[in-house]
Structure 1
Amino acid sequence: MLQSTKGLPLDVRLSAYLDGEVNEAERKELEQLVARDDEARRVFDMLQAGNAFGNKAFEEFLHDPVPLSLVRRIKQGPGVNPKTERVVTATPRQAKQRLWPRALAASAALLLVGGSTGFIIGKTGNDDDQPLKMAAARTWLDDIADYHRIYARQTAEHLVEVPASAGGKIEGWLASNVGVNFALPDLSDKGLTFEGARLLVATGKPVAQLMYKDQDGDVFAICFLKSTPGSTDGKMTESMRDDIAMISWQKAGASYVVVGPSSDASLHELATAVSTAI
């Protein structure tokens, strides 16, 4: 059951938000607070960095990869039979607990991470560099996952920045800002309807985001940014961020990723179609 965090410290409230343990009204309130308040954004970034730090340490402890198909079977229940099995390293989510123990644990973890990293960084630079150096461990895919988690919850009028009705103008707008020429993929044969586009920023670079919806209302995204010139590596890599699955690849000086629900067994097939069409 979702609990109210009103009256609790800001870091506790934001930690509960990151864990998906706040109700819809508080979620919107906290998102607006982070968007307009610099201090709230700083605390939010620190909590995200702490999560990334802890997740990375735990992933290194796990030696045996978890088949993505097994994760999907657990999420969907009996009867799931993906066509292919792809192995990825996924961090198992712990069982939901009451807010107070989780909040106290989150605060303790934040103090531990902040203290230890501050001690290490203090030997080589001043305290002002700490957030930047902690964030350096994040990749553009981490930023994209965070964006997707927020935007996928929006209603139709807020889902995209430029609606699909803008047509061909979207291609010119994104190409000029991102520096990557592309063709807008028609994924209607995959059961997806194009909703529109957004311009994002990940690891300091402009990123194009194309948004699609299926008949069940699930949101899928195609994101890309300019990468190392001459890169032609088309090998696809699949990864997970909790309930979000991502398939990424590089091609002709650009990096691409298809984002969707981790329960979708056809995401790899969708990414293959996108890599050909885009």
Structure 2
Amino acid sequence: MNAELPPSTNAPVTEAELQAFVDGQLPPARKLDIESYLATRPAEALRLEAYRAQKRGLHALFDPVLNEPLPQRLRASARPRIASQTPWYLQRLVAGLAIAVVSGAAGWGLRGGLPTSGTGDSAQLAAVTATPGAVTRASTNEFTQRAAVAHAVYSPDARRAVEIDAANEDQLVAWLSKRMGAPMKPPHLQAQGYTLEGGRLLPGGQGPVAQFMYRNEGGNKLTLYVSNDVGDIGSAGGWSPAVRAEPTNDTAAFRFAQEGAINVFYWVDGPFGYALSSDADRSVLARVSTEVYRQLGVSR
């Protein structure tokens, strides 16, 4: 079969061809040229392998979503609608009655929903965490998606997983604190089985984001994502970004989301949002999140 391949071109290798090589989009003959090129350039070969690792991470994150069956409500909405046999004037009458009923019920509900004496921030938090003593499963939002994508992209990178490693933690803390406008000291999680690898600065929705990366003895990664853009978290979680979410138990302050194969525990603490991402079991991540939350509170 090799004899049937077109001859090698020996043309200069371009960055576009290297990217096409990673994506498996090159003709067979040119693929051989690139392989020969990389065989003498180990640094380039490692760079392309990092790109492949990023692709695998993104596939692990989003393939389960792509393969999900179409929700029944969408299937139903795609079916042709049967024309209503009800006269238009009766439809309007029914709609008006429905609006009146809903408006009255909403007004009565608000009567009991106003703040009363003795209702503090912790009580408000307990109200939005529907099951006392348990982590609430919240709708996914831009914050958790960005945290999960950052974890999936950088965790597999063997060479550039972090910008500043843990051996230079003082430098890392000073740099991220300056860029984030607040102290950014990473929690120490050795007691939970995770060692700090380092951190990096990332773009967020409306500003910079700090990411700290940890690894356990089995090589599994865990990332802590810190953002001062918490508007999208508040809309999904029901929190006020000005309030530290004091838990009434070990996990009451946290919300849980799942982005593909990545589990995410996230919470609001003053002006910052925190997300802990990993493919670890949910119970493990809950335990680590509790310790991160505790250390962040002690450091204030």
TM-score band w.r.t. shorter chain: 0.5 to 0.7
- Percent identity (aligned): 20
Q: Structure 2: how far apart are the matches of 1:217 and 1:181?
A: 28
Q: C-alpha offsets along residues 147-193 of structure 1, whole Å, 9 cap, x if unaligned?
A: 111111111x3111111111222222111112232432111111111
Please, what TM-score do these two structures have when normalized by structure 1?
0.53
Cα pair 2:50 2:157 within 8 Å, conserved: no
Q: Secondary structure at the match of 2:288?
A: helix
Q: Structure 2: how far apart are the matches of 1:273 and 1:30?
A: 30
1:1-278 correspondence runs (5 A): 6-7=24-25, 28=51, 58=71, 88=137, 139-155=142-158, 157-227=159-229, 230-234=242-246, 235-263=253-281, 265-278=283-296
Q: 1:269 is matched by which residue type in structure 2?
A: R
Q: Structure 1: how far apart are the matches of 2:195 and 2:280?
A: 19
Question: What number of residue pairs does the alignment pair up?
Answer: 176
Cα pair 1:179 1:226 within 8 Å, conserved: no
Q: Structure 2: how far apart are the matches of 1:222 and 1:59?
A: 35
Question: How far is 1:226 from its partner?
Answer: 1.4
Q: Structure 2: how far apart are the matches of 1:175 and 1:254?
A: 13
Cα pair 2:166 2:198 within 8 Å, conserved: yes
Pair 1:205–1:230, CA change in 2 (3 A): same
Question: How far is 1:31 from its partner?
Answer: 5.9
Pair 1:210–1:168, CA change in 2 (3 A): same
Cα pair 1:180 1:226 within 8 Å, conserved: no
Q: Structure 1: how far apart are the matches of 2:72 and 2:293?
A: 29
Structure 2 unaligned regions, length at least 5: 1-21, 27-46, 75-132, 231-240, 247-252
Question: How far is 1:263 from its partner?
Answer: 2.9
Q: 1:164 is matched by which residue type in structure 2?
A: A
Question: How far is 1:140 from its partner?
Answer: 2.1
Pair 1:261–1:53, CA change in 2 (3 A): closer
Q: Structure 2: how far apart are the matches of 1:209 and 1:166?
A: 15
Pair 1:182–1:6, CA change in 2 (3 A): closer
Question: How far is 1:89 from its partner?
Answer: 7.3
Cα pair 1:163 1:196 within 8 Å, conserved: yes
Q: 2:51 is matched by which residue type in structure 1?
A: K
Q: Structure 2: how far apart are the matches of 1:144 and 1:238?
A: 13
Question: How far is 1:265 from its partner?
Answer: 2.7
Q: Secondary structure at the match of 1:275?
A: helix
Please, what TM-score do these two structures have when normalized by structure 2?
0.49
Structure 1 unaligned regions, length at least 5: 9-23, 33-43, 62-83, 91-136
Pair 1:59–1:211, CA change in 2 (3 A): farther
Q: Structure 2: how far apart are the matches of 1:223 and 1:261?
A: 15
The aligned counterpart of 1:75 is none
Pair 1:53–1:277, CA change in 2 (3 A): same
Q: 1:231 is matched by which residue type in structure 2?
A: V
Q: Structure 1: how far apart are the matches of 2:201 and 2:72?
A: 31
Cα pair 1:164 1:195 within 8 Å, conserved: yes
Q: Secondary structure at the match of 1:175?
A: helix
Pair 1:54–1:191, CA change in 2 (3 A): closer
Cα pair 1:191 1:215 within 8 Å, conserved: yes
The aligned counterpart of 2:238 is none
Cα pair 2:144 2:257 within 8 Å, conserved: no
Q: Structure 2: how far apart are the matches of 1:140 and 1:247?
A: 11
Pair 1:186–1:54, CA change in 2 (3 A): same
Cα pair 2:54 2:152 within 8 Å, conserved: no
Kindly name which structure, 1 or 2, has the bigger radius of gyration based on alpha carbons.
2
Question: How far is 1:232 from its partner?
Answer: 2.0
